[in-house]
Structure 1
Amino acid sequence: MGLKEGGKRDRRHVASLRRAAVVRMVRELEEQRDAGIRLAGGRTMTVEQWLEHWLTAIAVRRLRPKTYENYSCNVRRHLVRLLGHHRLDRLQPEHVEAAWGQLSAEGLSPATVLLNHRILSRALTVALQRGRVARNVATLVDAPSAARGEVQPLTAAEARRLLQSAKDLPNGARWSVALALGLRQGEALGLLWDAVDLDAGTLTVRRALQRRAWQHGCAQPCGRKRAVECPQRRGGGLVLVEPKSRAGRRTIKLPDALRDALRSHRAWQAERRLSAGNVWEEGGYVFCQPNGRPIDARRDWLDWKALLKAAGVRDARLHDARHTAATLLLQQGVAARVAMEMLGHSQISLTLGTYSHVVPELAQDAADRIGAALWG
């Protein structure tokens, strides 16, 4: 079959009670060799062993840290538990179907089951490319369907009540940015003053704030089970990362009221910096803690819930502030293409698909406009 990595000949052996079966298996090996699709020889791997190798040696170099952490969690919590004991080259579509059925029976959401399907399919695609398997069995199984949840934005009146209640809060402009521009949580918390031009009235999204998991930094096992407790831990905490896609890097025009709010916020922050003295840690963050350090996503979420309660507004997810901004943009007649660019969507179908509840209003407005243009 050629040569192994060490230069030794790669010999394969087949056996059967019937001559015809042996001839067929030999011809299959010869076809694979001639086509350059040699299955890896030597000790067979289990699905668990391949997934661990794929995670630590391949995926870690291609995925964003947050995505990698999510993949690792699902692989070790679900895929290894349900499929890890199978031999990699003997994994069957029925095994995969049974695993997805088990996850659904355990109460996992369709979105989580679909994510596990995509992770397995990607890992098996790499295994196929490297000759570990003859086919990707995940492609032979219908992917689980995950229906998009219905968007529940706040009304314009509710948004105004929130802005009124947030006006006198330490980082009150944080919620103006969320409700007026639709910035994602990480984009708002990772916003730096060098990305805000108040004279030109623009805000540029260049980074996002994320919390990464800590890794052990000790050469020898330190005895701590959790990496966060390692004396030489590394690579974790709050960090600034690049936006996920090219569309995420965007420049947005600021409404005049928001520009004034940010100008007042900057003046307030300068006073806070002086009063903090040596305690202040300058990071250039637009929204920060009293000592200048970035705000953790958990703290930000608690502040949002407290704001909803103070304003007497119904409970809502933090991401609903972004949905509110998008819905208000479309309701005000802003072109879907412009709204797409402001929100950082990569495709206009994502914008219109997510906010399909506004489409009937837009269609009626378009009908009224064309009617007025032609018939007065």
Structure 2
Amino acid sequence: MTTPRDTPASRRTRANGDGTVYQRKDRRWEAAGYVLAPGNTRKRVRVYGSTRTEALAKLTEKIAASNRGVPAVTVQGSLAAFLTYWLENVAVHHLRETTHTRYTAVVEQYLIPGLGRKKLSKLTAKDVRTWLNALRTVCQCCARGIDARRDPNAQTSRRPRCCAIGQCCRKRLSPVTLAYIHSVLKSALEHAVREEEIPRNVARNVRTGTPRPRRFNPFTADEARQFLAAAQGHRLAALFELALRTGLRKGELLGLRWEDLDLDGGTASIRRTLQRTTSRGLATLPTKTISSERRIALPAPCVTSLRAHHARQAKEKEQASPNWQASGHVFTRPGGHPIEPATLTRHFHALLREARLRPVRFHDLRHSTATLLLEQGVELVVIKELLGHAHIGVTATVYAHVRLRLQRQAIDLLGHALGTLDQPSPEPADGDDPPLCAAPVR
């Protein structure tokens, strides 16, 4: 008669729910058991190991995770397949079209070539970290063969160079671009966790560091006056003046309609933005955020220039009739069609060259507005409402460029409060009053 002690280890009866462990014909050990699956169901999983202890440890880990309420992984496809599914079925319904276009470019250019062959269920933080380190150190021209695909006989300025001619340009991705690529991967894997396809987001365990903010080049007060003087007489003078005096974004300026303006009351309602999209071409979209939809006060010079612009547009309409395109936009081409954002950028740079001003981006007019308002002592909360930021921290950290003059004023204020080392501090007029101190700065 055999006893449980005499029974081989592989044949001993395990407790209910512990699963089974046995040795296969190929000498490997297999353990199988039931664990929690998505949808509050249960499924049978199988794990393998070179020894009985290894297989049993893997099964025990899965059962323990199931007991904690973590469902087992059901995805068997590659990361490339999931990213494609995520872009076409999820992100397209939750992102702005321009943002979805950028996400698609990141997925096609970086994520799929670098990590696409990995199984989604087997992707680890080490895989993500190794891939990001490679992006930091590898020349992107050589890695992606950008220059090699160009036509050597093409009569353009973008002729083959770098790896195509055997001389690496050592082009590296900026820290800001790396952080953006990492954020796209985190967003995709976060949705996989939300749908209980994977137990955790391994990309969140990888730290890329905080990139330094991009340096801006806002106009000084003298440069701003010079820019406004140069814009006088330009067909889009009202647009350039409105951009510098109110800090509106390029798309918000081009998306303005006459129905959004109250010139008698001196206000403008920002309700939409005009952008070039991949699917619809030049399209009118909602504002960037909910906070961007706002009502602002128009400066008196802007009201005057807008009235003059309206009169000029009426003459253009009369000259172009009946071919006038009634779009209702404030700023249009001579035929009434909306203005392309790229066309506005070309007009802006041409104006800078004519005025002999240093080259800046059109968006730097927005930075100039915030900086000049701050230098005049305007409260940050007022600047936030004017620019349409969701959080005042964005206004304080990104758009509040404190210039050297403000720093000098702050240092001088502290110097007057502390006095000099060889000069005693002045006695208070009343002995019961405390010594003078600098006023608190908000």
Range of TM-score over shorter length: 0.7 to 0.9
Give the corresponding residue for 1:271: 315
- Residues 36 and 69 of structure 2 are in contact (CA less than 8 Å); yes or no, is this contact kept in structure 1? no
- Residues 239 and 253 of structure 2 are in contact (CA less than 8 Å); yes or no, is this contact kept in structure 1? yes
For 2:63, which of 24, 27, 30 is the aligned residue?
Answer: 30
Give SS of 1:247's match.
coil
Corresponding letter in the other structure for 2:246? L
1:305 aligns with 2:353: no
- Residues 244 and 369 of structure 2 are in contact (CA less than 8 Å); yes or no, is this contact kept in structure 1? yes
Equivalent residues in 2 for 1:218-257 (5 A)? 236-257=280-301
- Consecutive unaligned residues of structure 1, counting only runs of 5 or more, are 215-235
Equivalent residues in 2 for 1:297-336 (5 A)? 297-336=341-380
Mapped to 1, the partners of 2:402 and 2:108 lie a distance apart of 41
Deviation sequence 1:26-66 (CA, Å, 0-9, x none): 33333444444323437x21111111111111111111111
Task: Please state which structure has a larger fraction of its residues in strand.
Answer: 2
Give SS of 1:210's match.
strand
Deviation sequence 1:159-180 (CA, Å, 0-9, x none): 2222222221222111001111
Q: CA RMSD in A?
A: 2.7
Identity of aligned residues (%): 34
Give SS of 2:296's match.
strand
Give SS of 2:322's match.
helix
Corresponding letter in the other structure for 2:111? L
Farther off after superposition, 305-314 or 160-169: 160-169
**TM-score computed with the length of structure 1 as normaliser:** 0.86
Mapped to 1, the partners of 2:410 and 2:380 lie a distance apart of 13
1:17 aligns with 2:17: no
Mapped to 2, the partners of 1:301 and 1:356 lie a distance apart of 24
**TM-score computed with the length of structure 2 as normaliser:** 0.74
Farther off after superposition, 357-366 or 317-326: 357-366
Give SS of 2:44's match.
coil
Bigger CA radius of gyration: 2
Deviation (angstroms), 1:149? 1.7
Give the corresponding residue for 2:396: 352
Mapped to 2, the partners of 1:169 and 1:277 lie a distance apart of 23
Mapped to 2, the partners of 1:203 and 1:99 lie a distance apart of 48
Give SS of 1:15's match.
strand
Mapped to 2, the partners of 1:29 and 1:131 lie a distance apart of 15
Task: Please state which structure has a larger fraction of its residues in helix.
Answer: 1
Give the corresponding residue for 2:107: 75
- Residues 187 and 208 of structure 1 are in contact (CA less than 8 Å); yes or no, is this contact kept in structure 2? yes
- Residues 280 and 291 of structure 1 are in contact (CA less than 8 Å); yes or no, is this contact kept in structure 2? yes
- Residues 151 and 354 of structure 1 are in contact (CA less than 8 Å); yes or no, is this contact kept in structure 2? no
Name the CA shift for 1:57/1:249 in 2 (closer, same or farther; >3 Å).
Answer: same
For 2:328, which of 281, 284, 296 is the aligned residue?
Answer: 284
For 1:41, which of 60, 70, 74 is the aligned residue?
Answer: 74
Structure ranking higher on relative contact order (CA contacts 8 Å, 6+ apart): 1
Aligned length in residues: 352
- Consecutive unaligned residues of structure 2, counting only runs of 5 or more, are 1-33, 140-171, 418-435
Give SS of 2:47's match.
coil
